[in-house]
Amino acid sequence: METAADCYRHALQCDQLAKFALSDADRDVTLAAAVNWRKLAGSAEEAETTAKLEYDLVDQDWSQS
């Protein structure tokens, strides 16, 4: 799975590529890809947060035993 940081990096690359698009259609597709990478980054952030919370809970339970 891509990390949130990876997804944001891909989005930035798409934004940069869009500046060099040879047509409006190419630019629009590349910018749409950037939007999708940012959405995926948000989902990855949620997954990373959930995983950390679950890990912390398990670690807390384990250390109290």
Residue range 16-56, pLDDT digits in tens: 999 999 999 999 999 999 999 999 999 999 999 999 888 88
Give the contacts of 8 (CB within 8 A, at least 6 positions apart).
37, 38, 41
CB 18 within 8 A of CB 30: yes
Amino acid in the structure at residue 18: A
The more confident residue out of 62 and 31 is: 31
CA pair distance 55, 50, nearest whole angstrom = 8
> Given pLDDT bands bounded at 50, 70 and 90, which one contains residue 60?
confident
pLDDT surpassing 80 at residue 59? no
CA pair distance 62, 33, nearest whole angstrom = 42
pTM of the shown model: 0.80
Amino acid in the structure at residue 16: Q
Q: What's residue 64's pLDDT? A: 74
